[in-house]
Chain A
């Protein structure tokens, strides 16, 4: 599509400013099961999102039909959209920042140059390696998926930014059975450096998660000291991340409203948003509004220091955008709880009686970012006198997320990003309500 022509047509129709956000993706998905290539998918897609200011309102439209024939559809849709909006928020098309930090390792050409056959073989090897680790392992689903993501932002104020990112995930989903009980485990690595996919290690971790959980039973209901393992803690944080969005705060649906400068957690906890994290596909020097991204601490030693902003919400609070304007709203880039010093093993050893919660299910339905209350299905291990006694399943863990942050007694050094961009180390919590079988 000729963007110049689109901008001209927009101007003729009295659209004050206009911006296009063009995305081109290529994808490769591989899945191996029972010694067979179960899934092989290749994709090549392009999409265009357009926003424009008409009569002081922001109109939007998106299309996958991208040619000069849809220029009128785009312009008319932007106007129809703007005409129906009655939000009085001030809206912006951004002229750009003077400096955008270089992020040089977003795209690794070598990853793309490894041929598809080699990547398929990697998945076969992952399955084989995992299966041979333990006879209780009944089935292994091995996967490799890779994406190359190109973005270009162009607007009528002269901004023209682009980036290319690539990333791959390799892992195993393991089913183990001892004849009576059946359990699952998952392990994966995300990177854009092909050599990072250590088959042996992924296989070992995945196998361990499934096999160790065999024979899991419920426990007696009550309050227990809990270590929330890194991935479980990350999924709980992910369910509550909208609390940190200035949009939620301004709309009065955030528990963190009016709490800047207050202690919202134990001093042990610091939470950051890091757009420059290595090997993350979420990293980059600009957001979808064209604003330069920045590294920032949202919680500094327990104290809430700020929210995540896009242009619109920043204007309302008379601050600058934090470069978190993504997809017409606000999203974090790489958002995580800073790791502490204690090792996970030491943290377990210092526990007299408690639980390790290694997995939480249903975080999309059993949490409320409005109230902070959660009640979730969990599984993990019972710990007594510093030792893992047995696996546990079919329990629920309930609480309030802000209370959890206040009750953290230890932060481990094992930070893990959970499928992408939200991460946490394992954290120890004084007490959580557990519902079991009696």
Chain B
């Protein structure tokens, strides 16, 4: 932590040339992780991160610098170096920092730093045991545990001064099922903005581990997926990654502001099927992507991105709001002090519709049922997306038929959004790590079960 006086001095030093905005981001983070493989604890690691990022801007143009040093000399030098990017001089600015605002939501009851490592290790052992007992074909299990307490202080030349503590934890289980012919993996990784109470109050470690083994086991007997265009039913929960990749990234100001997104300049226009309403909400109590403040020091909020198919709002950070001449949506996020903040998603999902799961399946004569999604990526300029399906089945005559492996869904976000022709009523969210310009950050994805009338499925077999 830095003295209020020093923070003010650094912010003022950054404005000695021609810049009009300065910001300091101070981060102190303690992290613990442990991993298990072959039923042995392989690695237990503590780490402490401390660093300071300084941003200086004029209009929407900004420069950024970061350091691990907290000495007055180093920080003033960094601020001054950055200020030189905006040549000129101005009257000395007197910055008056407001009262420190401290976040009060998303509290954790049991701080991970107060829990002994051996109790965290017990979780690994329980998960490993449950995953292995699920089936004889499970021949390898990997379990990773992680928790962290990220303390941030953010202050800027407008006098805003906030403090937030983000406590998060996650356990990830990877099971491998094997027979003579093949090996298949199943994965499950629940997490939240919670302390250690997550493992007693929110989830059952054994059930989560069995889910990873179930996927691996089912996929072991699966044949290769067919290829070609077909209707695809994407299940709830992590299925929301389709929206995250195909549309969410293209609605971030990072790609919208410079006109690089297919959705640039489309506010108020119909960009999706009228069945689609999509939300990005950073305020959901204790959700994985929630926080009290964004990483520019503004309170998190709920944003309706798409309302009944019409583009309602982008996700916009402070500087891009100036650039776009649009309202800031408090969407500035970053992995750590090593990144300047930019517009990012928090907890992003397609909202509930009216169909039941059974209605959606029985209305589909032939197609792919993507029960569990893997990861994916998108090119925001073209909207081309791809993502892998980690658990898939064919749908025949309105019924879920045999499992298939190795399916990839490809298409463009704009097209897929318009082709959503059924939306279920079983909204569920799941946790992921999202990598982009300002680093890797926790985000929730989510949706009810949806059907897209036509997507290209890439598999190894001709369609039949």
Contact = CB atoms under 8 A, between A and B. Distances in A.
A362 B388 contact: yes
A39 B85 CA distance: 11
Nearest to B68: A64
B94 interface: no
B382 A80 contact: no
Nearest to B120: A84
A contacts with B: majority SS: strand
A221 B260 contact: no
B338 A42 contact: no
Interface in B12-47: 34, 37-38, 40-47
B64 interface: yes
B408 A375 contact: yes
Contacts of A436: 456
A33 interface: yes
A113 interface: no
B140 A253 contact: yes
Given A41-B63, A60-B43, A87-B42, A218 B176 contact: no
A261 to B, nearest CB: 22
A393 interface: yes
Contacts of A238: none
Contact of A433 (B51, B66, B457, B460): B460
Nearest to A399: B460
A371 B63 CA distance: 45
A218 B184 contact: no
A13 to B, nearest CB: 16
Interface string B57-78: 0000101111111000010001
Contacts, number: 212
Interface in A14-71: 33-34, 36-47, 59-66, 70
Given A61-B47, A64-B50, A377 B228 contact: no
A191 B459 CA distance: 39
Interface in A219-257: 221-222, 251-253
Contacts of B374: 365-366
Given A43-B338, A44-B67, A398-B458, A328 B43 contact: yes
Contacts of A88: 40
Contacts of B299: none
A395 interface: yes
A394 B411 contact: yes
Contacts of A135: none
Interface size class of B (residues with CB under 8 A): 35 or more
Interface string A396-438: 1111000000000000000000000000000000000101111
B37 A251 contact: yes
A65 B268 CA distance: 49
Contacts of B49: 64
B67 A60 contact: no
A73 interface: yes
A252 B46 contact: no
Contacts of B379: 184, 361
B302 interface: no
Given A60-B45, A364-B375, A377-B384, A45 B66 contact: yes
B382 A184 contact: yes
A222 B460 CA distance: 9
Interface string B197-233: 0000000000000000000000000001101110000
A71 to B, nearest CB: 13
Nearest to B74: A44
B189 to A, nearest CB: 14
A260 interface: no
A74 to B, nearest CB: 9
Contacts of A399: 460
Nearest to B38: A251
Nearest to B228: A221
A174 B319 CA distance: 24
A301 interface: no
B118 A84 contact: yes
Interface string B134-169: 000001100000000000000000000000000000
Contacts of B388: 362, 365-366, 375
Given A221-B227, A435-B456, A366 B408 contact: yes
B47 A362 contact: no
B229 A437 contact: yes
Contacts of B183: 370-371
A183 interface: yes
B227 A433 contact: yes
Interface string B352-376: 0000000000000000000000111
B35 to A, nearest CB: 10
Contacts of A45: 51, 66-68, 338
Given A84-B117, A85-B43, A366-B386, A435 B457 contact: yes
Interface centre among A46, A222, A253, A377 (most CB of B within 10 A): A377
B93 interface: no
Interface centre among A36, A38, A61, A398 (most CB of B within 10 A): A398
A164 to B, nearest CB: 19
Nearest to B375: A365
B439 interface: no
Interface centre among B38, B40, B381 (most CB of A within 10 A): B381
Given A396-B456, A437-B456, A364 B377 contact: yes
A139 B260 contact: yes
Interface centre among B140, B228, B262, B382 (most CB of A within 10 A): B382
A347 interface: no
B181 to A, nearest CB: 10
B302 to A, nearest CB: 29
Nearest to B229: A437
Interface in B377-416: 377, 379, 381-382, 384-388, 405-408, 410-412
A368 interface: yes
B340 interface: yes
A130 B81 CA distance: 30
A366 B388 CA distance: 5
B111 interface: no
A358 interface: no
A123 to B, nearest CB: 14
A362 B406 contact: no
B126 interface: no
Nearest to A364: B375
Given A43-B65, A45-B338, A396-B458, A139 B46 contact: no
A59 B44 contact: yes
Interface string B100-120: 000000000000000001100
Nearest to B380: A184
Contacts of B182: 371
A65 B386 contact: no
Interface centre among B228, B386, B407, B459 (most CB of A within 10 A): B386
Interface in A340-372: 361-362, 364-366, 368, 370-371
Given A80-B46, A85-B41, A43 B67 contact: yes
Given A84-B41, A251-B140, A366-B388, A371 B184 contact: yes
Closest 9 CB pairs of A and B: A396-B458, A435-B227, A365-B375, A377-B386, A435-B458, A375-B408, A40-B63, A81-B44, A362-B386
12 contacts: A42-B63, A70-B48, A139-B259, A252-B140, A362-B387, A365-B388, A370-B184, A375-B407, A376-B386, A393-B382, A395-B458, A396-B456
Interface of B: 34, 37-38, 40-51, 61, 63-69, 74, 78, 81-82, 85, 117-118, 121, 139-140, 176, 182-185, 224-225, 227-229, 258-260, 262, 338, 340, 374-377, 379, 381-382, 384-388, 405-408, 410-412, 456-463
